[in-house]
């Protein structure tokens, strides 16, 4: 059961940042969208670094301190979401 929970958390470590970046890309204007990662770089960053890639995405697209802070906030939110879901599943299945 522990292997299943770790696998779910690994999947969430990819899915949560993917959702956050894709949601952000839909809202970007032309200049900011042009600075975003191409598909290969996007998937490499999301799969390899998970939530740690979020500050880089937001800083790269916004080129400002506000973008970096926004990325940090989304990174913390992603880690909290993944941690809370993992803890909830652990409690649900009775795994310590």
Query: Residue 23 domain-assigned?
Result: no
Does residue 81 lie in a domain region?
A: yes
Q: What pLDDT sits at residue 60? A: 95
Whole-number Å distance between alpha carbons of 45 and 53? 6
Query: Using an 8 Å Cβ cutoff, are 53 and 17 in contact?
Result: yes
1 found inside a domain: no
15 part of a folded domain: no
Within the chain, residue ranges assigned H as helices are 2-27, 30-34, 39-49, 54-62, 65-93
pLDDT digits (tens, 9 = 90+) for 10-66: 999 999 999 999 999 999 999 999 999 999 999 999 999 999 999 999 999 999 999
In a domain, 9, yes or no: no
Is residue 61 a contact partner of residue 94, using CB atoms and an 8 Å limit?
no
Identify whether the C-beta of residue 8 lies closer than 8 Å to the C-beta of residue 90: no
Domain annotation covers residue 3: no
Please give the structure tokens belonging to residue 4: 């299943």
Say if 85 falls within a structural domain: yes
Domain presence at residue 6: no
**Number of domains present in the structure of the chain:** 1
Whole-model pTM: value is 0.90
């Amino acid at each position: 059961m522990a292997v299943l929970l770790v696998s779910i958390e690994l999947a969430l470590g990819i899915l949560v940042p993917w959702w956050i970046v894709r949601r952000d890309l839909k809202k970007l204007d032309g200049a900011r969208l042009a600075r975003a990662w191409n598909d290969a770089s996007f998937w490499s960053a999301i799969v390899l670094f998970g939530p740690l890639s979020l500050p880089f995405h937001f800083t790269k697209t916004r080129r400002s301190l506000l973008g970096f802070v926004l990325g940090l906030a989304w990174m913390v939110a992603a880690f909290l979401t993944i941690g809370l879901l993992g803890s909830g599943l652990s409690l649900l299945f009775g795994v310590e």
